Amino acid sequence: MITLEKRLAQEIVERTMCIIPFNVNVMDVRGIILGSGIPARIGELHAGARLALDQARAVEIDNEAMRTLPGTQPGVNLPLKVRGQTCGVVGVTGQPDQVRQFGELVRVMAEMILEQALLVGELQREKRYREEFVDQLVNPGITPHAELELWGVRLGVDFALPRSVVILELRNEALAPESALAELQTCQQQLSGYDPSLLMAAVSPRELVILKPFGRVDQAGRLAVLAREQLFALDAVARKGLKSPSTMALGIALPAIEGVAMSYECARQTSRIGRVRDWRARLFSYYDMSFPVLLSGLGSGWQAVQLREPLRRLQASERRSTVLRDTLTAWFTADCQFERAASLLGIHRNTLDYRLRQIGTSTGLDLARINDRLLLYAALYLAG
C-alpha cells in the first residue's frame, strides 16, 4: 500500500492547481495536511478530511457546517483510494456549489498520480531486487546456494540455460563517481528496453555486469560467432546511453549458479588481456582469445616461473629497450603472419625477419617450432 509523503502530496497540489482556480489540500489517513496551496496550513489537522475518512465518503463543508466544525473552511473533501485501499483525502477549498464540479476531477487526477508513484516504486524495488541477485551471483559465498536457487525461481531465471557475463567498464578515470554511476543507470535503461530479460547490476560506479543467456550451441566455431554478434549488439544499445568511452568484455557461457561467478572472472581476465593485446580495442570476447585467457590461470607456482623464463631472457638482452618485445607482441597479434605483423609495426619485412632472429638468439628458442612459439606466447601473456 502506498504511504502518502509530503513530496508526493505537494506534487498533487501543484499539478491540480495548474488546471483549476481553487486551492487544493492533500491529507494523509490521519487527516493531517501534507500538501496545500496555502503553505501555512501544512501540518494542521483537517476536520473535513477527518470526517470524510470516518464516514468513507465525500464530505462537503458549507457555511452551516463550518459553525459545527470550528477552524474549517468551505469546500469538498473526497477520500483517495489506490487499489481498493484508502490512503488519504483530497480537498478543494470554496463554496460547494462552486467547487463540486472540480472535486471529482481532482480526485481522479490525484489517484492517477498515486497509482503511478506506486507502480514506479514497485519497479524500483524489482530493479533493486534483481541487481542484488546479480551482485550475490558474481560474489559467491555471501548468500547460501539454496537461497540463491529460490531467488532465481522467484525471478523466473532458468540456470540450466548457459549464461555469459558481460562487463561494461567506463574508461574515463577523471569522471566523478556520481556522474559515472548516472551514465551506467542510463545505460541500464537502454539495455532493459532492448532486452527485458537481461539481469544487470552496477557493481561499482564504473562497472556494469550483464548476464546474457545463450542458446545451447554444439559447434564451438558457431558459439564464437554468436558471442561476437551478441557482444556487438549489446554494445550498440549501451552506447546510446553513454557519453564516456567504454569497453565491453564477454566471458565464457556456463550453466548453473556457479557458472555465473566463473564467467564473471573470465570476463574480467578477457578485458584485462584484451587491453594488453590492443589498447585501442573496445570489445573483447573470451571466444576470440580463449588461449591467453586460460593461460592467465597459470600466474603462480613453479610452472609460472618456467613459463615466464623466455621473456625474462628477452628483456635481459634488451635492457632498457622494448623493441623486441613489441615486435613479438605484434607478431602474435598478427597470428604469426609476417606481412601483417610488419604492417602493424610499420617496418619492412626484412627488418621483421632480423628482429625475430634476434628474439630466437636471446631466448634460445626456435620460432619455427610450434612448441617454442607456444612457450613464447605463454610467457608474453602471463607477463600481462
Residue-by-residue DSSP string for 77-121:
EEEEEETTEEEEEEEEES-HHHHHHHHHHHHHHHHHHHHHHHHHH
What is the number of structural domains in the chain? 3
Residue 133 falls within a domain, yes or no?
no
Residues 284 and 328 reside in one and the same domain: no
Residues 209 and 320 reside in one and the same domain: no
φ, ψ of residue 340 to 5 degrees: the values are -65, -40
Cα 114 from Cα 86, distance rounded (Å): 11
Q: Please calculate the CA angle 110-112-117 and round it to the nearest 5 degrees.
A: 95
Residues 99 and 143 reside in one and the same domain: no
Q: All 3 cell numbers of residue 29?
A: 489517513
User: CATH code at 101?
Assistant: 3.30.450.40
Q: Which domain holds residue 104?
A: 6-122
Residue 129 falls within a domain, yes or no?
no
Query: Do 270 and 293 form a contact (C-beta atoms < 8 A)?
Result: yes
User: CATH code at 228?
Assistant: 3.30.70.270
- Look-up of cell digits 531465471: 157
**pTM, to two decimals:** 0.67
Q: What is the pLDDT along the chain (384 residues), one digit of tens a residue?
A: 678 899 999 999 999 999 999 999 999 999 999 999 999 999 999 999 999 999 999 999 998 888 888 778 999 999 999 999 999 999 999 999 999 999 999 999 999 999 999 988 888 888 889 999 999 999 888 888 889 889 888 888 888 888 999 999 999 888 999 999 999 999 999 999 999 889 999 999 999 999 998 866 555 557 888 889 999 999 999 999 899 999 999 999 999 999 999 999 999 999 998 988 788 899 999 998 888 888 777 777 787 888 888 988 998 888 788 899 999 989 988 989 999 999 999 999 999 999 999 999 999 999 999 999 988 988 887 776
Beta strand 85-93 pairing with 163-170? unpaired
Q: Among residues 32, 24, 172, 184, which one has the least CA distance to residue 94? A: 24
Helix (H, G, I), strand (E, B) or coil at 174: coil
Query: Do 63 and 74 form a contact (C-beta atoms < 8 A)?
Result: yes
